[in-house]
Amino acid sequence: MASLQCLPGDPSILPLKDKDSQEYFFSSDSDDMATSDKADAIKDKDKLDPEVLKDLEKHQYLMRQAIDVAEEALAGGETPVACVLVYDGAVVARGMNDTNRSLNGTRHAEFLAISEFLSKFPASKLRETDLYVTVEPCIMCASALRQYGIRCVYYGCGNDRFGGNGSVLAVHSDKGLEAGYKSYGGIFRKEAIMLLRRFYIQENENAPNPRAKGNRELKQVV
């Protein structure tokens, strides 16, 4: 994803320059419902796939662990995107966004989690491993996950500017040399969005496109 190079503030998940996304990071996940069509679209995002509903309690438990890691990132002034890798039913690796601290645009949560995983297991075990991540993987991460052969990805909210699991490109399922992987979104979608809102509403010098925020309020409803 050379053309989408990440700079401080992680432009791979930057908001667009419109009213909704200036506040809420992902334009289609804004709660500024100008039309009934928009409202219906948001409702659709809250619908979970039947495959997820079959074992919802397990998926929520694992996504909650990713949310907890994202909370740690937020507390440290980092963009609150995080993930866990689950192998043989257990969380074996974690990752949080590290682009602001490191000034290295490749240090996305997924890459750091994979690095930890590979320090414990051979790469072939990723084919038996699932990823739970708070935000849909960007195109760069989605491609890496496919090349490593991840078994399945579960994510919280979509990434409508750089999403690689269907929001922009379907890197996970398009025809290619490597086998694709299944992907399901919407697990704790609202919680994931609220973490991002909290990051942008606070006085945070790491947030991209800094603006005067003294009169801004955190909207609690997604």
Catalytic residues: 110
Which residue spans within the chain are E strands per DSSP? 82-87, 90-96, 129-135, 152-157, 182-185
**Amino acid making up residue 222:** V
Is residue 140 within 8 A of residue 165, CB to CB? The reply is: no
Tokens standing for residue 100? 């602001």
- Pairwise CA distance, residues 100 & 14, whole Å: 13
**Count of CA atoms in the C-beta half-sphere (13 A) of 31:** 11
**Which bin fits 77, alpha (ψ -120 to 50), beta or left (φ > 0)?**
left
- Pairwise CA distance, residues 175 & 180, whole Å: 8
3-state SS assignment for residue 103 = coil
CA-to-CA dists, residue 185 to 51, 122, 155, 192, 216, angstroms: 11, 27, 5, 11, 29
